[in-house]
């Protein structure tokens, strides 16, 4: 369960970084 939560958090963080690059 914890691994899934961590993966979700990492994915969200990665998406935010990609959005910053696009902007």
**pLDDT tens sequence across 1-23:** 688 988 998 999 999 999 998 77
Distances 3 to 11, 15, 18 between C-alpha atoms, Å: 12, 18, 22
Q: What is the pTM of this model?
A: 0.47
- Give residue 20's region: left, alpha or beta (phi > 0; psi -120 to 50): alpha
Residue 1 pLDDT? 67
Residue 16 pLDDT? 93
Alpha helices in 1-23, H assignment, sequence order: 2-22
Name the token pair of 3: 């691994």
Q: How far apart are CA 5 and CA 15, in angstroms?
A: 15
């Amino acid at each position: 369960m914890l691994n899934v939560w961590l993966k979700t958090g990492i994915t969200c963080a990665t998406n935010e970084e990609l959005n910053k690059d696009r902007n």
